[in-house]
A and B are shown apart, each in its own frame.
Chain A
Amino acid sequence: MKRKPRLLASFTALYVLWSMLPVAIAVLFSFNSGRSRSTWQGFSLRWYWGDPFSSVWHDDSLLRALRNSLVLAALTILVATPLGVGLALGLTRWRGKPARVANGILLLPLVTPELVVGTALFLVVTNSYSFLDLGRPAQLVGHVTFSLSYVVIVVRGRLLSIGPDLEEAARDLGASPFQAVRMVIVPLLTPAIFASAVLVFATSIDDFVASSLLSSGAGSETVPVKIYGSVRGGATPALNALATIMLSASMLALVVVFAIMRVMRRRQGDTNAGENSLKELASW
């Protein structure tokens, strides 16, 4: 009979260790009581708020990066989610060649290196779109542009599984097209919309290239840009603390998305909702 694949199992275990341990160590060092990011000197919360000058809580530049990241992510959600939902609704109705072209364009940001998109936006903002300033407005545009694709993919997937029947039934019962969408489709889409909003949040706070190319100096630095700028210098563990805070935010987002998807699947009568949601998460 079948042998137990010991070798593969230990390889996988090693991989998991390798992928997680460095990050865990970085988190650990955010609690270091000394100034070093590589020599352990005991536990403290000094770099979160204890230190009166350079803890995250007291260092203006770190705090500003945190605020910039969160504000930018919130704005991106506000713009990208409704836009993406509208686009998904439109794309499922729209047939023929233009729709295919539109579809292709929508997928392009996913396969273009971010550097190319970022450069393009940087050049257009500095040269011709004088109504956009570098800094938060330009960063917002950049983030919306690539998170839009995610929203459309998630929402459209859900739309396809709902199918046209319910909307047609609503129309037969006398609803206007607008009413049918508002009263039937949107409520059914709500979980998917929430999930995509959280996804947008996660991509936005993690983004580095667009935020960095389109920033206008220290005032609009986000957390990843701040990390990038100070990691090679003599930064204190406060940098690790800042990264740890953002890490918690991403993990929270992941848990929320997972919970929403599980509820969605349960309602559809999926008996193995947990694992199937995981698989769907893995497929993005």
Chain B
Amino acid sequence: MAWMALFFIVPFYSVAAVAFGQVDPIRQSAVPEWNPRYWDFTLFTDVMHRVVNGDLGTVFIRTALYVVLAVAGCVVVGYPVAYFVSREAGKWRAALLVLMILPYWVSYLMRMLAWVNLLQPQGWMAQLLSHLPAGNRNWLSGQPITVVFGLVYGYVPFFILPLYATLDRIDGRLLEAARDLGATSRQAFWRVTLPLSRQGLMAACVITALPMVGDYYTNNLLSASPRTEMVGNQIVFFLQQTTQPQVGASLVLMLSAALLVVMAGYLVSVNRAQKLVTR
């Protein structure tokens, strides 16, 4: 436990200390302030202003947009697959399950490397796409669609597995009962399967959305252009390439606060749902 305290709690605190700390007047570098009583919020509010109505605001909005689109993409791709494997796959089930788990264990960077190779101007996929109308462009430079596509490709395995676990637990007899009571298979899906899997669907969305928010490498690998920059890119930029890590630290704090709100909302809704079930 001491390990977690030393390397998880304290570092978290230090983010706050740096964000609210002083700037060394001579070296212009950040000096963390450990005592909350002397915290200086000017820089933080400054960054806050830039987020609310300035250059950083667009980055936050863009991040939210990409993440929402990518999660939607995960739902569209992932739900049918998870549904099929859990309900209809029959004798193929074990094999398909292996194929669902495999990408989970392939290094993320390896999978991105694969797409960079395919989408390079000489790559097979880029060649294929160039036959389409408007398909002849540099797919690896500032194309939002490539970034969202990359996010979907990267995170969909993390989406399918938890959803599969939920769908798998749904009692097949409930569906039979619905059919016996005269529901068509479509009705049975919309009125039994989907409501019963809503918890798992939400969990899967949260599980994929959280890391996506902090993702900067997908973006850098597939686009590397300021036009598609996300919050993660900004944080890493301020942290590594400037002498203002405190700006990065402030951004981290805001991001965590936003995520905390989302998580809290999610937990409250789960709690409410569970109370409904047990009542």
Using CB atoms and an 8 Å cutoff, list the residues of chain A in contact with chain B. Answer: 2-3, 5, 8-9, 11-12, 15-16, 18-20, 22-23, 25-26, 29, 36-39, 83, 87, 90, 102, 105-106, 108-109, 111-117, 119-124, 126-128, 141-142, 144-145, 148, 202, 205-206, 208-209, 212-213, 223-224, 227-228, 231-232, 239-240, 243, 246-247, 250-251, 253-254, 274-275, 278-279, 281-283
Q: Within the assembled complex, what's the spacing in Å between the Cα atoms of A239 and B114?
A: 11
B217 near A275 with CB under 8 A, answer no
Using CB atoms, name the residue of chain A closest to B32: A127
Counting chain A CB atoms within 10 Å of each CB, the highest count among B7, B30, B161, B252 belongs to B7
Residue from A87, A124, A254 within 8 A of B101 (CB atoms): A254
Counting chain A CB atoms within 10 Å of each CB, the highest count among B77, B84, B117, B211 belongs to B117
Counting chain A CB atoms within 10 Å of each CB, the highest count among B116, B120, B240 belongs to B116
Q: Within the assembled complex, what's the spacing in Å between the Cα atoms of A243 and B3?
A: 32
Residues of A contacting B: mostly: helix
- A126 CB contacts on chain B under 8 angstroms: 245
Q: Within the assembled complex, what's the spacing in Å between the Cα atoms of A145 and B77?
A: 32
Which segment, of B47-55, B91-99, B270-278, faces chain A? B91-99
A120 near B94 with CB under 8 A, answer no
Q: Within the assembled complex, what's the spacing in Å between the Cα atoms of A4 and B30?
A: 64
Using CB atoms, name the residue of chain B closest to A244: B110
Using CB atoms, name the residue of chain B closest to A126: B245
- Interface: B108 (CB within 8 A): yes
Residues of B contacting A: mostly: helix
A22 near B108 with CB under 8 A, answer no
- A275 CB contacts on chain B under 8 angstroms: 93-94, 97
Which segment, of B12-20, B38-46, B130-138, B191-199, faces chain A? B12-20
Q: Within the assembled complex, what's the spacing in Å between the Cα atoms of A202 and B165?
A: 22
A260 to chain B, nearest CB (A): 15
B88 near A9 with CB under 8 A, answer yes
Using CB atoms and an 8 Å cutoff, list the residues of chain B in contact with chain A. Answer: 1, 3-4, 7-12, 14-15, 17-18, 30, 32, 77, 80-81, 83-85, 88-89, 93-94, 96-103, 105-118, 120, 122-124, 140, 153, 156-157, 161-162, 164-165, 168, 185, 206, 210-211, 213-217, 220-221, 224, 232, 235-236, 239-240, 245, 248-249, 252, 255-256, 259, 263
Q: Within the assembled complex, what's the spacing in Å between the Cα atoms of A37 and B240?
A: 30
Q: Within the assembled complex, what's the spacing in Å between the Cα atoms of A283 and B88?
A: 20
Q: Within the assembled complex, what's the spacing in Å between the Cα atoms of A145 and B3?
A: 8
A123 near B88 with CB under 8 A, answer no
B105 near A254 with CB under 8 A, answer yes
Q: Within the assembled complex, what's the spacing in Å between the Cα atoms of A2 and B176?
A: 11
- B249 CB contacts on chain A under 8 angstroms: 119, 123
- B97 CB contacts on chain A under 8 angstroms: 275, 278-279, 282
Q: Within the assembled complex, what's the spacing in Å between the Cα atoms of A204 and B55?
A: 36
Q: Within the assembled complex, what's the spacing in Å between the Cα atoms of A90 and B30?
A: 39
A38 near B101 with CB under 8 A, answer no
Counting chain B CB atoms within 10 Å of each CB, the highest count among A90, A205, A282 belongs to A282
- A39 CB contacts on chain B under 8 angstroms: 122
B259 near A113 with CB under 8 A, answer yes
Give 4 A-B pairs besides A105-B9, A113-B259 with Cβ atoms closer than 8 angstroms: A109-B8, A117-B11, A124-B11, A227-B110
CB contact under 8 A between A128 and B14, given known A115-B235, A145-B8, A281-B101: yes
B77 near A15 with CB under 8 A, answer yes
- B103 CB contacts on chain A under 8 angstroms: 19-20, 23
